[in-house]
A = this chain, B = another copy of it.
Amino acid sequence: MSAVHVIGAGMTQFKPHPTVEVHELARQAAWAAIESSGVRPEDIELAYAGHAYQGQCFGQKVLLKIGMTGMPVVNCENACASGASAVWGVVNAIKAGQADIGIAIGAEKLASAKGGFTPLVADDLESSMGRVMPSVFSMMARKHMDRYGTTLDQLARIAVKNRRGGVRNPYSPWRDEITVEDVLAAPMIAEPLTRLSCCPVSDGAAAVILASDRVARRYTARPVEVRAAILASGIRNGVGMADDHSEMTIRAARRAYEVAGIGPEDVDLCELHDPFTIAELVHYEDLGFCAPGEGGRGVDEGWFDIGGRVAVSPSGGLLARGHPLGATGVAQIAEMFWQLRGEAGERQVPGARVGLAHTVGGGVTQIEAGATSVHILVG
């Protein structure tokens, strides 16, 4: 089976874009990815577009804006894993021989008057009674603190670390670093999670160009290989569940390591699904970067900083770059592309060779079905 490589990437800044429509954001990201790849638009044979709320035939409308019509386009949704599902779809389609070059686009507009994503389902009883994202994660935090002795200080340090990345990332809107004290003193959203423990509501888009082994090196001497593309579904574990970890993340990560032929100790760089500080901490453990319960200690000892065991979310992650749902999974792959080629500027992880991108989508509705993705890339 032919390998698939990333050969180009582009994205918009993630922030509220009140005067730019979502198709235009996606067009900008797609065009930036195309330009960076050296591919001619007419050589792109296939597209997936990931989004959660942007209406019918979204990908077609975006591509039409740059004159690219005709190719197969699939619009896909998997809540916060929508963009990652788009990447996964393009990888499969290239491996299946449908195309040599494809584009994965992800986009979302959440910060507009028409947007918003809580409650996820209008008639969801639990959401309407307050079981929305921040409250679910607040309970997850309490559980982890209770079980393992994780501290508020440790959780706050995750926000500080990711903001440090965001400040160095031109695609993030943040320009000021924060301290543990800032995080703890910020307005309370869902105790113990303050506003600085939660990702912001953003608009934005990202795109990557993927190519078969057969053609990738025609466009770049340094393609970044997608060594494993794993999607899984399941029940989001959390409050009321047997465990506070993400069973589907654990399963997807194990499978990804198996397919890639590496272990978590080989990962230099991870873009991790961190909508709340507690999510990042739990996922350190789920992805095998430390043992269950060790996340807090790892934060204290700098295991997840640049220069530590594995640099987690040097981009700023969802916390400090932003989280326009459909865009996030694609932006992670774009970040991998830049990092693994040494092109990540001030946020560069020195010598990064193996990267892992992780998203989790869904889970705060009556039926707690969700999706998770793990992609392993090698530069």
List residues of A whose CB falls within 8 A of some B CB.
1, 23, 52, 55-61, 63-64, 69-79, 85, 88-89, 91-98, 120-121, 230-235, 248, 251, 361-362, 365, 367, 369-371
A91 to B23, CA, bound (A): 29
A23 to B59, CA, bound (A): 26
Q: Within the complex, which residue of B23, B56, B61, B96 is in contact with A93, where a contact is CB–CB below 8 Å?
A: B96
> In the complex the two chains form, is B61's CB within 8 Å of A369's CB?
yes
Complex alpha-carbon distance, A85 and B93, angstroms: 12
Closest residue of B by beta carbon distance from A75: B77
CA of A94 to CA of B88, assembled, Å: 13
17 A–B contacts from the bound complex (CB under 8 Å): A56-B120, A56-B362, A57-B369, A57-B370, A60-B367, A60-B371, A61-B369, A63-B369, A64-B235, A69-B233, A69-B369, A72-B231, A72-B233, A74-B89, A77-B77, A95-B95, A96-B96
Chain B residues within 8 Å of A55, by CB? 121
List chain B residues, Cβ under 8 A from A97.
1, 95
Contact of A70 among B89, B251, B362 (CB under 8 A): B251
9 closest A-B pairs by beta carbon, nearest first, are A60-B369, A95-B96, A72-B231, A92-B96, A57-B362, A75-B77, A73-B233, A92-B93, A61-B367
- Besides the contacts A23-B367, A57-B79, A70-B234, what 13 more A-B pairs have beta carbons closer than 8 Å? A52-B56, A57-B370, A60-B371, A63-B233, A71-B232, A72-B371, A74-B85, A74-B88, A76-B77, A91-B96, A92-B96, A93-B96, A95-B95
Cβ distance A25 to chain B, nearest Cβ, rounded Å: 15
Once A95-B97, A97-B95 are accepted as A-B contacts, the answer to whether A70 and B232 lie under 8 Å apart by CB is yes
For A120, the chain B residues whose CB sits under 8 A away are 56
Q: Complex: how many Å from CA A232 to CA B59?
A: 12
**Contacting A233 at CB < 8 Å: which of B71, B76, B232?**
B71
Bound Cα distance A95, B64 (Å): 29
Contact B57 A361 (CB under 8 A): yes
Distance of A61 Cα from B78 Cα, bound (Å)? 11
State in angstroms the CA–CA spacing of A218 and B177 once bound together: 60
A365 to B57, CA, bound (A): 10
What B residues does A232 contact at CB under 8 A? 70-72
Partner of A231, one of B74, B76, B371: B74
User: Which B-chain residue is minimally distant from A55 (CB atoms)?
Assistant: B121
Distance of A230 Cα from B93 Cα, bound (Å): 11
Q: Residues of B contacting A93 with CB < 8 Å?
A: 92, 96
CA distance A121 to B22 in the complex (A): 14
- Of the residues B72, B79, B251, contact of A56 by C-beta under 8 Å: B79
Q: Whose C-beta in chain B lies nearest to the C-beta of A52?
A: B56
